[in-house]
Amino acid sequence: MSRLQVVSGKGGTGKTTVAAALALALATEGKRTLLVEVEGRQGIAQLFETEALPYEERKIAVAPGGGEVYALAIDPELALLDYLQMFYKMGGAGRALKKLGAIDFATTIAPGLRDVLLTGKACEAVRRKDKRGRFVYDYVVMDAPPTGRITRFLNVNDEVAGLAKIGPIHNQAQAVMRVIKSPETEVHLVTLLEEMPVQETADGIGELRAAQLPVGRIMVNMVRPALLDEASLELAQSVPRTALAKTLSSAGLGGARRGGLAERLVGPLLEQAEEYAERYALERDQRAVLAELGLPLHELPLLTEGMDLAGLYRLSTELRKQGIS
């Protein structure tokens, strides 16, 4: 696995969740991973049920097997001030610029700069070494912007090269691109088995490839269990209602005659089966579309009780089972 793992996907498909599960999965014995958030939403803190993360790397979890997961919420404004101080000793100017509204301008309005700062910080963590010359983090996992913006986000160089042709921002962008376009990076896309996210995944992969960004894997999230097999689905179309009522009754669900509980259940249960069949067919189509894309696929189950820490660990175990570590 590459050392920088970028997780994107359509909004709401589970980018934050999958990124966190991936960070846990990669933190095998003796390894350390860093999970970074770039959208300032404190999604990681929520997921790990801790207080809001400051702009500071801190340990948030120990993975099964003993590896460590650190987390960092990158704040572009603080990253910029940090950066000014580090390279120009302009701490004071930074404050003045802030008062002027220039920092706000640079991090929200001015194109590209925000992304340079965010990706720059992540790449710095990827390259950072300790005194003995070993990488501080074995893996950096980024909870990245959604598919619609990911190519542009990672491709800051092209954007910024056209704007800032010289100067520190330019140099920084170059350094970032050296990491991002190398085999050190992989971009994964999270999707659901639904038409829109799958379409967005296909489009996104096309864009990433066109921009020569390294595409990694497809993570199909919230996969529902198959509760009715093909044979049952077929039978559901033709089964005599009386036979079904009798079977329900034999299972202890009241009378099979007209008006009996079992008899009254037949209609609604078959209706649910029909809905299931429709969804099943849709999912099958979407699986086929994904298979066409020719990338490794992973499937993560829908946790019906909702997401919590235990669920997150379950997903990470699932990823390890599927060969990620």
Partner 1 sequence: MTLDAVRTLDVDPLLDDPKTRIVVCCGSGGVGKTTTAAALGLRAAERGRKVVVLTIDPARRLAQSMGIDSLDNTPRQVKGIDESAGGELHAMMLDMKRTFDEIVEAHANGDRARQILENPFYQSLSAGFAGTQEYMAMEKLGQLRSRDQWDLIVVDTPPSRSALDFLDAPKRLGSFLDGKLIRVLMAPAKMGGRAGMKFLNVGMSMMTGALGKLLGGQLLQDVQTFVAAMDTMFGGFRTRADATYRLLQAPGTAFLVVAAPERDALREAAYFVERLAAEDMPLAGLVLNRVHGSGAARLSAERALAAAENLDAENLDESRIVDQDGGKAGVRNSPETPADSAKSAASDRSSHNPGPSAGSESPDEGSPASDRTDGNDGTNRPAEQPAEQLTTLTGGLLRLHAERMQLLAREQRTRDRFTALHPEVAVTEVAALPGDVHDIAGLRAIGDRLAAGEGPTGAA
Ligand X SMILES: Nc1ncnc2c1ncn2[C@@H]1O[C@H](COP(=O)(O)OP(=O)(O)OP(=O)(O)O)[C@@H](O)[C@H]1O
The residues binding ligand X (CB under 6 A) are 9, 11-17, 43, 146, 195-196, 221-222, 300, 302-303, 307
Whole-number minimum distance, CB 315 to ligand X, in Å?
Answer: 6
222 binds, among partner 1, ligand X, Mg ion, none (CB under 5 to 8 A by kind): ligand X
d(CA 178, CA 72): 22
Whole-number minimum distance, CB 265 to Mg ion, in Å?
Answer: 38
d(CA 153, CA 155): 6
The angle at the Cα of 190, spanning 19 to 63, to the nearest 5 degrees, equals 25
CB 260, CB 248: distance < 8 Å = no
The angle at the Cα of 241, spanning 238 to 244, to the nearest 5 degrees, equals 95
Whole-number minimum distance, CB 245 to ligand X, in Å?
Answer: 30
14 binds, among Mg ion, partner 1, ligand X, none (CB under 5 to 8 A by kind): ligand X
What sign has the CA pseudo-torsion 204, 210, 214, 217?
Answer: positive
Cα separations (Å) of 171 from 174, 179, 308?
5, 13, 41
Looking at beta carbons only, is 9 or 216 nearer to ligand X? 9
C-alpha dihedral, 159 to 160 to 166 to 170, nearest 10°: -130
Among 13, 16, 119, 201, binds Mg ion (CB under 5 A): 16
273 binds, among partner 1, ligand X, Mg ion, none (CB under 5 to 8 A by kind): partner 1
60 binds, among partner 1, Mg ion, ligand X, none (CB under 5 to 8 A by kind): none
231 binds, among ligand X, Mg ion, partner 1, none (CB under 5 to 8 A by kind): partner 1
Whole-number minimum distance, CB 250 to ligand X, in Å?
Answer: 35
Whole-number minimum distance, CB 91 to partner 1, in Å?
Answer: 12
Helix axes 147-154, 156-163, angle to 10 degrees: 50
Whole-number minimum distance, CB 243 to ligand X, in Å?
Answer: 32
* Site size with Mg ion, rule: CB under 5 A: 3
253 binds, among Mg ion, ligand X, partner 1, none (CB under 5 to 8 A by kind): partner 1
Tokens 């997401």 locate to 307
d(CA 233, CA 224): 16
244 binds, among ligand X, Mg ion, partner 1, none (CB under 5 to 8 A by kind): partner 1
Which span sits near Mg ion by CB under 5 A: 7-15, 58-66, 189-197, 202-210?
Answer: 7-15
d(CA 141, CA 71): 9
Whole-number minimum distance, CB 83 to partner 1, in Å?
Answer: 9
Q: Cβ neighbours of residue 152 under 8 Å, at least 6 residues apart?
A: 115, 159
Position closest to Mg ion via CB: 16
